[in-house]
């Protein structure tokens, strides 16, 4: 231990950690795998067809990473040539511009594109560019489990893939496995600090300390990294010292080092990817729920995971997250007991609480079908119908309400007609209903249809995501065009869910 202290004394930081800055909007990965680039600027007219194609030569039988996915075409409903004729640079630019607060219908569709097994872009000069763009997008949305699975399926044995896999593993709790892989193949180590961290994880503290000292001496480690690594390797030497200031920008390795010395950073002001670390059982219940809510909003987490956290125990306080948990618990208990009166009392509050936190679609996916089947009175059926129309069972629930003669208010009657795909929609005044009506019955824009016809459907879908990036505040014409194109592309479910969410959220 004395030798260890001596080695670390040589490696003490030359400067304190930097002060905090404004909250981050994008994650700066430890390995710089996501770099700041000057993306292709959007134009007023659609991208033109590719007329010159560079051929990428590969050994026979080798699968390009761009073709790797987790979902087959049968599961996604997307044709194999969804991105085949697109310019990869254009695809990547559109992908980088997708909002993180999209309507759930569009976010779900985007994730299908990101996770799909598709024929790779034929014009790619870099056979991995589209694959890594999809991985980076998954990381931005906090879908770390999906990104990790994609990387492992494609193979993370080179530096570009390993650095992303390593960063993801640090936040998902698989750092021991990642370090074992780095030890087996030292050439893929993304940075010297990562190598030092893994040496310590393997128990070779002396080698870690010597590597730290050498790295500092040759200028390969910043003062900030030096400070965190020295503290992580021997926290006893810093007893009584003020807690370290979390570095900005935060990296997965810095986060893991701080977490290792009991100074886990607050993830609420950090990018979504860091929220995954708050799902660990060792984290407080409130922080777990808040992290699950953030990830569920962007469809990166199964709603049932959030439900299990909401119902884990009795809330110890009131306000905010506690009120949401209590409201869900009351609704859940009422449904389990089959008490219609209790359901009628619990439903409006649960809907109001989760609507305030932009989680009403999540509540609908969890309970919409069950609530619609309850024997409720007319006074509460409007709530039940609204929740049901936001669920995945929207069509069956709408038909039941209409067939059983529910007392449906005009706005919900219009939404129910949309849900059933009625050829004629009831008259409804207002900007949003008119935009939805035009989308459900009108002709989609020729520019998007042309893209889809040219084996560029993925490009067209990304363009569609930008049309409704402002949710219900999007331009009414853009809303109509987005809905109409999804219908024309055979994505009827996405079109109807988008229309219903615009109307009801």
pLDDT, tens digit (0-9, with 9 covering 90-100), for 374-414: 989 888 999 999 999 999 999 999 999 988 888 888 889 99
* CA distances for 456 relative to 70, 90, 109, 462, 490, angstroms: 20, 11, 16, 10, 15
Band of the pLDDT at 63, cuts 50, 70, 90?
low
The pLDDT of residue 301 is: 97
**Tell me: the pLDDT tens digits for 210-258?**
999 999 999 998 888 899 999 999 888 888 788 788 888 899 999 999 9
pTM: 0.86
Residues of the chain by 3-state class (helix, strand, coil), percent to 5: 60, 0, 40
Give the mean pLDDT of 456-464: 98
Does the pLDDT of residue 314 top 50, yes or no? yes
According to the model, what pLDDT value does residue 241 have? 83
Q: Residue 397 forms beta bridges with which residues?
A: none
- Structure tokens of 151? 């990387």
Burial 434-473 (b: 16+ CB within 10 A, else e): ebbbbbbeeebbeebbebbebbbbbbbbbbbbbbbbebbe
pLDDT of 30 above 70? no
> Is 60 exceeded by the pLDDT of residue 464?
yes
pLDDT digits (tens, 9 = 90+) for 84-108: 999 999 999 999 999 999 999 999 9
* Whether the predicted pLDDT of 208 surpasses 80: yes
pLDDT at 28: 54
Q: Is the pLDDT of residue 6 over 50?
A: no
- At a CB cut-off of 8 Å and minimum separation 6, what does 494 contact? 105, 106, 108, 109, 486
Computed over every residue of the chain, the mean pLDDT equals 87
Cα–Cα distance measured from residue 85 to residue 120, given in angstroms and rounded to the nearest whole number: 9
Distances in Å between the Cα of 210 and the Cα atoms of 27, 200, 216, 220 are: 30, 11, 10, 13
The partner residues of 71 in beta bridges, in order of sequence, read: 116
What is the average per-residue pLDDT within 335-354?
96
Proportion of the chain above pLDDT 70, given as a percent = 88
Query: 113 pLDDT exceeds 80?
Result: yes
Using alpha carbons, select from 285, 247, 276 the residue that is nearest to residue 263: 247
Say yes or no to pLDDT of 47 above 50: no
Return the pLDDT at 80.
95
By the 8 A CB rule, do 321 and 294 touch?
A: no
Q: Would you say residue 365 has pLDDT above 80?
A: yes
Pick left, alpha or beta for residue 294 (phi over 0 → left; psi -120 to 50 → alpha; otherwise beta): alpha
| C-beta contacts of 428-431 below 8 A and 24+ residues apart | 431/476
- Most distant CA pair in the chain, distance: 83
Q: What six digits make up the tokens of 120? A: 């790779």
| Mean pLDDT, rounded, for 297-301 | 96
**210 and 7 in contact (C-beta within 8 Å)?**
yes
Query: Mean pLDDT over residues 335-353, rounded?
Result: 96
Q: What residues form DSSP beta bridges with 79?
A: none
Please tell me the number of Cα atoms within 13 Å of 267 on its side-chain side.
31
The predicted pLDDT at position 40 comes to 35
Window from 5-14, 110-119, 205-214, 451-460 with minimum mean pLDDT:
5-14
């Amino acid at each position: 231990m004395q030798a260890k202290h001596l080695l670390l004394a040589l490696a003490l930081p030359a400067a304190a950690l930097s002060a905090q800055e404004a909250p981050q909007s994008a994650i700066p990965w430890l390995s710089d795998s996501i770099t700041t680039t000057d993306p292709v600027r959007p134009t007023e007219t659609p991208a033109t067809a590719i007329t010159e194609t560079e051929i990428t030569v590969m050994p026979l039988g080798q699968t390009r990473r761009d073709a790797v996915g987790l979902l087959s075409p049968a599961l996604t409903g997307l044709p194999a040539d969804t991105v085949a004729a697109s310019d990869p640079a254009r695809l990547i630019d559109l992908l980088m511009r997708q909002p993180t607060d999209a309507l759930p219908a569009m976010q779900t569709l985007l994730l299908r594109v990101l996770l799909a097994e598709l024929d790779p872009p034929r014009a790619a000069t870099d056979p991995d560019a589209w694959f890594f763009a999809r991985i980076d997008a998954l990381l931005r949305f906090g879908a770390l489990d999906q990104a990790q699975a994609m990387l492992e399926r494609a193979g993370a044995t080179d530096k570009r893939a390993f650095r992303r896999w390593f960063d993801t593993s640090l936040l998902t709790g698989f750092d021991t496995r990642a370090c074992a892989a780095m030890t087996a193949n030292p050439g893929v180590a993304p940075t010297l600090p990562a190598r030092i961290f893994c040496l310590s994880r393997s128990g070779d503290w002396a080698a870690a300390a010597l590597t730290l000292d050498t790295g500092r001496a040759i200028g390969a480690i910043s003062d900030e990294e030096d400070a965190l690594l020295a503290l992580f390797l021997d926290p006893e030497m810093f007893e009584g010292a003020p807690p370290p200031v979390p570095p900005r920008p935060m990296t997965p390795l810095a986060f893991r080092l701080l977490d290792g010395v009991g100074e886990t950073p607050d993830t609420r002001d950090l990018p979504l990817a860091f929220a995954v670390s708050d799902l660990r059982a060792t984290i407080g219940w409130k922080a777990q729920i808040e992290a699950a809510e953030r990830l569920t909003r962007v469809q990166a987490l199964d709603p049932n995971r959030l439900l299990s956290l909401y119902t884990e125990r009795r809330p110890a306080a009131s306000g905010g997250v506690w009120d949401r948990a209590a409201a869900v618990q009351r609704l859940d208990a009422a449904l389990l007991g089959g008490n219609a009166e209790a359901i009628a009392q619990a439903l409006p509050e649960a809907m109001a609480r989760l609507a305030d936190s932009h989680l009403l679609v999540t509540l609908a996916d969890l309970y919409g079908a069950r609530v619609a089947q309850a024997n409720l009175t007319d006074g509460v059926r409007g709530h039940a119908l609204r929740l049901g129309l936001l669920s995945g069972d929207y069509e069956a629930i709408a038909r039941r309400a209409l067939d059983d003669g529910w007392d449906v208010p005009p706005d919900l009657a219009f939404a129910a007609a949309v849900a059933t795909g009625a050829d004629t929609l009831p008259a409804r005044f207002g900007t949003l209903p008119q935009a939805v009506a035009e989308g459900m019955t009108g002709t989609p824009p020729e520019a998007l249809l042309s893209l889809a016809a040219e084996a560029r459907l993925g490009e067209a879908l990304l363009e569609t995501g930008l049309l409704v990036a402002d949710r219900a505040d999007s331009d009414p014409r853009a809303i109509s065009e987005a809905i109409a194109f999804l219908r024309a592309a055979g994505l009827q479910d996405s079109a109807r869910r988008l229309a219903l969410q615009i109307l009801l959220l």
